[in-house]
Amino acid sequence: MVLANITTPLVGLVDTAVLGRMDAPSALAGASIGALIITQIVWICGFLRMSTTGLSAQAYGAQSKQEQAKVLYQGVFIGLLLAAVLLLLHRYIFNAGLHLSELSGEAKLAAEAYFTTRIWGLPAAMTNLALVGWMIGRHLTRQVLYIQITGNLLNAGLNIAFVYGLGWQVEGVAFATVLAEYTLMLLSILVCRRHIQGAGVERTWFSMKALKNVLSLNTSMFLRNLVLQICLAFLTLQGARYGVTAAAVNAIVLQFFALIALGLDGIAFGVEAMVGKAAGRKASAMLRTDILVGVFWSGLIACIYAFVFAIAGDSIAALLTEHHNVLNALSAYSLVIILLPLIGHWCFLFDGVAIGLTQASAMRNTMFVSAVAGFFPVWWFFKDSGNIALWYAMLSFLALRGLTLGVSIVRRYLL
């Protein structure tokens, strides 16, 4: 899962390189906003991946092929419903995103061209959330890696072919991603079908009564994702109010956070599958062992990140920007960058445990508490310190998320 995660931002680099070499910089500016809107939609809908992973892992642990099939088909069904709703509302979503970005002229046209092409990949993107979640729960992570590599290489290759070969410009970049998403979906379907052969489909799975539990689980995880997104959006928008340099500093620190997520998310995905399988088997001893194994690996990865950032953080930052005023301002954030993995790994880890145990309400409640009692009060208390107050708030937010969710899980499952 760590390797699979690493392949995704590489495609973003290819997209940026292709767009950045077009005749006008407005292509890159506009397409980046269009891509951001789509990315945020898919990210918020990531609750479908989470819920499907937990339910799939538990069905796998219970060794029920029929229950595994039920989880898969229900997840895909909900994903397609989500896609249908989003397609109906896509014009309103785009206009809202455009209003917030304040784009105009050529950049606005580029954003619209990208978005209106890319939006037709949503049925595949939503379906992929369920399919990938199901495969992770079934411990099919090697297949996920191979599928991700195939799709991402195809995306990069089509980018170059459509833009430089056919001259499709921004639409070519978007269409390449759409085709890659449908390719990922078809490959994932082939893998999933092979692992549920012999299990029939029952019409009762798609009734409101049968879907009630899954929808409740997804609603709680959606609210959790929404609160997290509000905190991240506040950090970005409030940082912009401190000036261009502060906004640039925040963008770079967020890139460090994205690097952290590549490793810690991979560990969390593994924990989701292991813990869910133990829960499905009702094996409490196995559950405790899996959580402790997760704590060890998550802590080890976090320490490695902190060590690398301590000795090479300045060099990494220099790769991301050549502006000396930004690099000088960034020096005040060195400790924040080192503390991010050490504090943040706990919430990554316990999110994985909670997903495996399908404890969506605990994830939702602790996220609310962490935002209301951690992020916003800490920012308010330190706001006179300037932009760095936002990162004090983020550190407290991550710490409180790990603490509250960890206490909830330990009290219920380990004591």
Domain count, the chain: 2
Which pLDDT band, with edges at 50, 70 and 90, does 388 fall under? Answer: very high
Residues 262 and 361 in one domain: yes
Total-model pTM: 0.83
Is the pLDDT higher at 104 or at 253?
Answer: 253
- pLDDT over threshold 60, residue 138: yes
pLDDT at 21: 57
Last residue of a domain, one of 154, 187, 206: 206
Residues 202 and 250 in one domain: no
Interatomic CA distance for residues 327 and 288, integer angstroms: 44
Residue at 355 is within a domain: yes
Residue at 212 is within a domain: no
Write out the two tokens for 372: 């209301």
Q: Which range has the worst mean pLDDT, 70-84, 167-181, 279-293? A: 167-181
Alpha carbon separation from 222 to 46, 156, 165, 253 (Å, rounded): 8, 31, 41, 26
pLDDT digits (tens, 9 = 90+) for 65-119: 888 889 899 999 999 999 999 999 988 888 887 776 666 677 677 777 888 888 8
Interatomic CA distance for residues 125 and 36, integer angstroms: 15
Q: SS3 of 391, please?
A: helix
Average pLDDT over residues 340-367: 92
Residues 260 and 341 in one domain: yes
Residues 202 and 249 in one domain: no
Residue at 84 is within a domain: yes
- pLDDT over threshold 60, residue 25: no
Helices (H) and strands (E) in the chain, counts: 16, 0
- pLDDT over threshold 80, residue 141: yes
Residues 200 and 87 in one domain: yes
Residues 251 and 200 in one domain: no
- pLDDT over threshold 80, residue 354: yes
Domain interval for residue 408? 244-415
C-beta separation of 325 from 332 below 8 A = no
pLDDT at 159: 79
Residues 167 and 267 in one domain: no
Residue at 161 is within a domain: yes
- H/E element holding 258? helix 244-280
pLDDT at 10: 63
- pLDDT over threshold 70, residue 241: yes
Residues 141 and 11 in one domain: yes
Q: What is the DSSP letter of 24?
A: S
Which pLDDT band, with edges at 50, 70 and 90, does 134 fall under? Answer: very high
Residue at 79 is within a domain: yes
- pLDDT over threshold 70, residue 186: yes
Residues 192 and 248 in one domain: no
The proportion of the chain whose per-residue pLDDT surpasses 90, expressed as a percent, equals 35
Mean of pLDDT over the chain: 85
Write out the two tokens for 258: 């994205």
Residues 249 and 201 in one domain: no
Last residue of a domain, one of 206, 234, 262: 206
Residue at 346 is within a domain: yes
Residue at 239 is within a domain: no
Residues 25 and 92 in one domain: yes
Which pLDDT band, with edges at 50, 70 and 90, does 52 fall under? Answer: very high
Closest Cα to residue 364, out of 211, 218, 210, 214?
Answer: 218
Is the pLDDT higher at 319 or at 214?
Answer: 214
- pLDDT over threshold 70, residue 27: no
pLDDT at 185: 93
Last residue of a domain, one of 206, 232, 262: 206
Q: Which range has the worst mean pLDDT, 136-145, 193-202, 336-345? A: 193-202
pLDDT at 295: 92
Residues 32 and 147 in one domain: yes
Residue at 28 is within a domain: yes
